[in-house]
Structure 1
Amino acid sequence: MEYVQERIATLHEFGNGDEGPGSGLAREAAAAVAETAVVVPMTGREYESPAAERVLGELERLEPAPAAVFVPVRAEPGRIGPFREWLGSFALPTRVLWCNAPGVDAVLADAGLGGEFGKGRDVWLALGPAADVADAVVVHDADARSYEAAHVHRLLAPLTMDFDFSKGYYARVERGRLYGRLFRLFYEPLLRSLADAHDAPIIDYLGAFRYALAGEFAASSHLARRLRAPRAWGLEVGTLGDAYDVAGFGGSAQVDLGRHEHDHRAVAGDTGLEGMSREVAATLLGVLEEHGVDPEYETLSKRYRATGKELIDQYRADAAFNGLEYDPAAERDQVSRYAESIAPPGLDTRLPRWIDAPFTPADVLAAARPWRERRVGSRSQD
């Protein structure tokens, strides 16, 4: 157990007996759920998956119920109907947004915002409508097999203390091994290499988060409307960049969510961690350039590799101390792969702040829900 504070407020799980973690704010956080919209992005692989079933089942346990549960879904036309039926089987105030509906593509294209899509675009489509119906928005992934309803309370707790932004952190230790590979082996050593060369508050801010690539966060509606979402896997880093501008050190917090078990991706290929690293790198370096940091790209990859090697030595010691399996050669191979992702960022394709969007959340809802019938007996509002 430790109680170290970072440059942002860090709320720990001390496990105070029967009272449970966060018990001091449990009542306030529970009451805030009624004024909160929850956003849970999904793709075809989450359909009826055990992890997604657990997430939705845990959300059913929240009392009071959230103001709304927005589920932005990216699925083929033949799958969206079954997806809606399955989501409607849960006793939740669900609002399904079909993110790749023809109408959504048309709305974005007409506004000059067409182009690539991914998790970031899906979450952004839901943020505008969610911020319209609630005082706060909680966002989390649907692939956590260890998800608990109490995570919503924990993420909301800082907002009851006048913070504007709250991010979850947790241990990624599963099946006797260390996971969280993209964060451990790419984000952390890259940011450390940059911190060694640049004295910039934005680097200090990004480095204060214990698991910066976690998908779980809560934000006031004020802040949610001011997020410029990268379209795909850069979402988490892009969110932190905007949170720095709106909330800063004093308005940001992180909360201990214990230990999480997530689905795992392969390393190689565009759909694996290797492809994700390119998008994370482009977003991270773009955020830094926007805030006045001028990375020395000629030497950055080499410095990243050196820092990655140092961290691998530390992870090997930590794994041995805890009796965990560890493969330093495989970890070094990942560092080498990720090093190829380090390059000057290209064109900024982030979606705009909702306060600047050329259309309204109602326009998105209409385009993303091109159906009219309702499921009888369900609390779904789609």
Structure 2
Amino acid sequence: MEYVQGRVATLHDLADPVPGAPVERAAVVVPMAERDCLGDAADRVLRTLERLDPERVVIPLRAPAGRVGPVREWLATYDFRSELVWCDGPRLNDLLSDAGLDGDRGKGRDVWLAIGRAAASEFVVVHDADTTTYDESFVRRLLFPLGRGYEFSKGYYARVEDDRLYGRLFRLFYAPLVRTLLNAHPEPFLRYLDAFRYALAGEFAATAATARRIRVPRTWGLEVGTLGDTFDVVGFAGTAQVDLGRYEHDHRGVGGSSGLSTMSRSVGETLLRSVVDHGVDVDFDTLTQRYRTTAERLIDQYELDAGFNGFGFDREHERDQVSRYAEAVAAPRGPDDRLPAWEHAPLAPGAVADATAADIADAVSDAPGAASPPEAGE
């Protein structure tokens, strides 16, 4: 337990706090992929939100048409005002294409669509649906600094489970890469990126005004891309980070299309593009080797920490991950396909609502033997 303050205001879990917060003025965004729907972890999250009773809950859903009806019926069993945004509907995709926003689909795109709707509330909270240790303190803690004049808050926690250190993409990729860049370029922007204790956490909250001013990467670069724009919008003074305490959710493998290696490429592209955009002159010819040197030093420290706590630690596995992540350390390539801040978007959130409502109605009516249950929350 510690209480050290850093470059951004840091709220510590010193007494298991469940602080008062403006929950009734907040929209909570809970992105869901098909694997999350109707699961035990998601049910725990939604049952907790029932007790919290925020202004509304926005669910951006990435799933095939056949899952839309069951998910809508499932959401109708919870006692809160909710809005389902089906992110794969044909009308919605046509709307985005007509607005020049066609492109890759992923978690970032889903969250961006939901933020457009959620920012009608005064505050916006975003968090994942697969948290097995979720409780009502999470939303309250994230919102607490916003009720005290801050404009953005980021969750953090120790990824420790089963006597092992997790959080591998942060520990072995993001942290050593940012530290390497900061050692060569002590710029305010890099100091900001380095200030966060778990920068890749999916949990954050913002005032609606801030949320509408942030560009969003389409895929796994969501978390770091959000920080890049938040620095410009609110800076150190408007930012807080909040200890969410014990936190457990699903773990990903290193390989595969949705594994950590694939995620590292998206995170690295977004991170390094943001660094270059902020005027940092990166020596990409030497960056990969410098990153590996920093990561090796961190592995030594993690091994020492694990041994101190009696945890298992596979040094060779950690080094192998660093070797895989090193492939993502490269100059940004191709066009910047971040989605625009909603205050500058070429379409209105209401158009998204109309398109997705029509898509959902079609998906439900086209399902074999489908009835027409009421919209969730009605």
CA distance in 1, matches of 2:85, 2:214: 19
**Is 1:215 aligned to 2:202, yes or no?**
yes
Equivalent residues in 2 for 1:340-355, closer than 5 Å: 340-346=327-333, 347-355=335-343
Letter of the aligned partner of 2:7 in structure 1?
Answer: R
Per-residue CA deviations over 1:72-130 (Å, capped at 9, x if unaligned) read 00110111111111122111211000001101111110011101110000000010111
CA distance in 2, matches of 1:259, 1:306: 31
Match of 1:48? 38
Match of 2:25? 35
Match of 2:17? 21
Match of 1:99? 87
Q: How many Å apart are 1:270 and its aligned residue?
A: 2.9
Match of 1:260? 247
Q: How many Å apart are 1:302 and its aligned residue?
A: 0.3
Letter of the aligned partner of 1:61 in structure 2?
Answer: R
Q: How many Å apart are 1:374 and its aligned residue?
A: 6.9
Choose the corresponding residue for 2:312, options 320, 325, 343. 325
Q: Is the 8 A contact 2:61 2:87 kept in 1?
A: yes
Equivalent residues in 2 for 1:171-186, closer than 5 Å: 171-186=158-173
Q: Is the 8 A contact 2:124 2:206 kept in 1?
A: yes
Per-residue CA deviations over 1:333-381 (Å, capped at 9, x if unaligned) read 00000000111112100000101111100000111122459745x7525
Q: How many Å apart are 1:140 and its aligned residue?
A: 0.2
3-state SS of paired residue (1:266): coil
CA distance in 2, matches of 1:264, 1:13: 24
Normalised TM-score (structure 2)? 0.95
CA distance in 1, matches of 2:353, 2:54: 19
CA distance in 2, matches of 1:137, 1:213: 18
Choose the corresponding residue for 1:109, options 97, 109, 120. 97
**Is 1:234 aligned to 2:210, yes or no?**
no
Q: How many Å apart are 1:332 and its aligned residue?
A: 0.2
Match of 2:321? 334
Q: How many Å apart are 1:170 and its aligned residue?
A: 0.4
Per-residue CA deviations over 1:184-233 (Å, capped at 9, x if unaligned) read 00000101110111121000000000000000000000000011100000
Letter of the aligned partner of 1:156 in structure 2?
Answer: L
CA distance in 2, matches of 1:340, 1:355: 35
Normalised TM-score (structure 1)? 0.94
- Measured on the aligned residues, the alpha-carbon RMSD in Å equals 1.3
CA distance in 2, matches of 1:51, 1:319: 28
3-state SS of paired residue (1:97): strand
- Structure 2: tracts of 5 or more residues without a match: 362-370
Letter of the aligned partner of 1:180 in structure 2?
Answer: G
Give the ranges of 4+ consecutive aligned residues of structure 1 lying more than 6 Å apart after TM superposition.
none
Q: Aligned pair count?
A: 367
CA distance in 2, matches of 1:229, 1:186: 21
3-state SS of paired residue (2:377): coil
**Is 1:60 aligned to 2:50, yes or no?**
yes
**Is 1:289 aligned to 2:276, yes or no?**
yes
Q: Is the 8 A contact 2:124 2:208 kept in 1?
A: yes
Match of 2:5? 5
CA distance in 1, matches of 2:144, 2:169: 28
CA distance in 2, matches of 1:312, 1:172: 16
Equivalent residues in 2 for 1:104-183, closer than 5 Å: 104-132=92-120, 134-183=121-170
